[in-house]
Structure 1
Amino acid sequence: MPELHLTTCFYLWQAPCCGKLYVCRLCHDAEENHQMDRFKVREVQCCECQTVQQAQQTCQQCHVQFGEYYCDICHLFDKDKKQYHCQDCGICRIGPKEKYFHCVKCNLCLAQDLRGNHKCVENVSRQNCPVCMEDIHTSRIGAHVLPCGHLLHKTCFDDMVRTGAYRCPLCMHSVWNMEDHWDQIDKEIAQSPMPTEYQGATVKIICNDCQAHCTVPFHVLGMKCSGCGSYNTAQEGGLIQHLEQDIHIH
């Protein structure tokens, strides 16, 4: 799930690294040649009365509220979105809290419907998105959990779907249930027999979905895993059976 980021502008952070005033760490990092540690922020300036003060939810001078939500760990201010600070993630998340749980192994807050219903990959959120290579853990874009357990940004997943890609960029596992597509390939293969010289030819494959190694009939439209029925397979070596027949003929 996405990290919470501020949308209000009633205050300015005073960067502890350079002393300059910025509305958020992202604005600071875009302008400077170093990054700001928001957890070390101690002071803010009120945009209404320009009073510099200790980071807090309400201005001590003019009493304007910097944000309906304030985290004194992350020093984030925002409108009320049922936010909560996840101690294990180390950052604030958009809630409500009861709809999410922190998976210790994945080291990430996930939707409750994924509790006991996802494949854990240790510290998966600490890896960059394999599509755009940008950070996932602190991203403002929600994360999509693939059946293999890997993560990518929801927007990157949607882009993949639009291009027709169906494999995880990291492990090549199918990213959704492909049974209907495999059935369609079955029908196409049944209607498209191979030329005589290739009939009976077989090939060794490895299945990207179940990791099985098997020898199956060769067809240009796809090689079907004899273990799980997936066509998400990779060929290992060349054709084998028709070559052996050629040797016997000679």
Structure 2
Amino acid sequence: MDTGFQENEQNQELDSHVTHLMEISSGYYGCSHYRRRCKIRAPCCDEVFDCRHCHNEAKDSLQTEQLLRHDLPRHDVSKVICSLCGTEQDVQQNCSTCGVCMGKYFCSKCKFFDDDLSKKQYHCDDCGICSVDHSYAKIANRLVKNFFHCKRCRCCYSKVLEDKHRCLEGALHHNCPVCFEYLFDSTKDITVLRCGHAVHLECTKDMELHNRYTCPLCSKSICDMSSVWKKLDEEVAAYKIPKVYEDKMVWILCNDCGSNTDVRFHLIAHKCSSCGSYNTRKTQRGPNTHSYSSGVPQVVSSTG
């Protein structure tokens, strides 16, 4: 028999076997965070969990005694347990006993497994972690990762934002200002506001439901408010201010452009004379001082 034919046949059998190991029980194991065919042993407490997020939810929650709370850094994982045969072993993609692929996506640096390739996971050496890329571009009939790493922000963004985003030192290396979950390794979708601050996407939706349209950190408007400002123009013009206030002037600080200006007092809202925004707050003194009154922006947020 032709040796070339035999070799080709053997390669086909090997490919078929590898495919079988990749697919066997795929999608049947895992947790709410990942579909995978292994569990991890947490070295910090020597307990078994489906993933490190499951560990952190159990061990770093309000239900856990404060002195016992802790989380599990991804790089500390050294042992995994095959979900099919139960063998505990060093971190590797295929089980050392039954040979099953424990995760179609596997990163030896992050000790990370995931069977759901639709997330388009990738590892960024600059970030030091694996991330999910929702923004692939199709070039020459193949998918190309459409992201870049910003050295100053110390995180990856879609290329759409490469020349448009506002750089902030360690942009994602802090807690979400709404729910207080750490953003950098969060599994939830994150959006970058116009001011450059980052928030969970679902948190911005919650903000909108409660008529909050300013950044929780810097108070700048998070979206185009021109239609709201136009409506406020009409309301301010239609409202007849009491005579006692007709000549009253106040200093305001604009949260959007940062201008500190002297404007005519009004009971509804105060408009920035520099940029036209009503996202302003009244200050006690002029532009050369820093003694302000309440930090609550004087904005009529209802758009109804």
User: Which TM-score bucket, shorter chain as reference?
Assistant: 0.7 to 0.9
Report which stretch shifted further, 108-117 or 28-37: 28-37
| Structure 2 residue aligned with 1:105 | 152
In the aligned structure 2, how far is the partner of 1:213 from the partner of 1:200? 19
Give the AA of the match of 1:113. Answer: V
Answer yes or no: is 1:84 the counterpart of 2:111: no
CA distance in 1, matches of 2:174, 2:52: 21
Determine if the alignment matches structure 1 residue 38 to structure 2 residue 85: no
TM-score by length of 2: 0.72
CA distance in 1, matches of 2:79, 2:203: 37
Give the corresponding residue for 1:60: 96
1:163 Cα deviation (Å)?
A: 0.8
Q: Which residue of 1 aligns with 2:105?
A: 69
Superposed structure 1 runs of 4+ greater than 4 Å apart: none
- Confirm or deny that 1:153 pairs with 2:176: no
Q: Choose which of 163, 174, 180 in structure 2 pairs with 1:127.
A: 174
CA distance in 2, matches of 1:207, 1:11: 53
Mapped to 2, the partners of 1:169 and 1:37 lie a distance apart of: 28
| Contact 1:6-1:76 within 8 A present in 2 as well | no
Partner of 1:206: 253
Which residue of structure 1 aligns with residue 241 of structure 2? 194
Cα distance in 1, alignment partners of residues 216 and 166 from structure 2: 16
Deviation at 1:162, TM superposition (A): 1.0
Q: 1:219 corresponds to which residue?
A: 266
Measure the CA separation in 1 of the matches of 2:203 and 2:40. Answer: 31
The residue type paired with residue 41 of structure 2 is: Q
| Aligned-pair CA distance for 1:6 | 5.4
- Bigger shift: 44-53 or 164-173? 44-53
Match of residue 237, structure 1, among 284, 296, 299: 284
Whether the 8 Å contact between 1:14 and 1:22 is mirrored in structure 2 is yes
CA positional deviation for 1:225:
0.6
Q: Report the aligned-residue RMSD.
A: 1.8
Cα offset, 1:57, TM superposition? 1.1
Q: 1:126–1:138: structure 2 CA closer, same or farther, 3 Å change rule? A: same
- Structure 1 unaligned segments of length 5 or more: list them: 239-250
- CA offset digits 1:2-54 (Å, max 9, x no partner): xxx95224212122334332211122234443332331322222121222222
Tell me the residue number matched to 2:162.
115
SS at match of 2:145: helix
Corresponding position of 1:16 = 43
- Cα distance in 2, alignment partners of residues 6 and 171 from structure 1: 32
Counterpart Cα distance in 2 of 1:35 and 1:162? 32
1:100 shift after superposition: 1.7
Please give the alpha-carbon distance, in whole angstroms, between the structure 1 residues aligned to 2:53 and 2:195.
32
**5+ unaligned residues in a row in structure 2: which ranges?**
1-31, 60-67, 137-143, 286-304
- Percent identity at matched positions? 40
Which gives a bigger RCO, structure 1 or 2 (Cα 8 Å, sep 6+)? 1
SS in 2 for 1:125: coil
d(CA) in 1 for partners of 2:57 and 2:242? 60
| Residues matched between the structures, number | 234
- Separation in 1 of the partners of 2:112 and 2:104? 10
TM-score by length of 1: 0.87
Give the residue type in structure 2 aligned to 1:65.
C
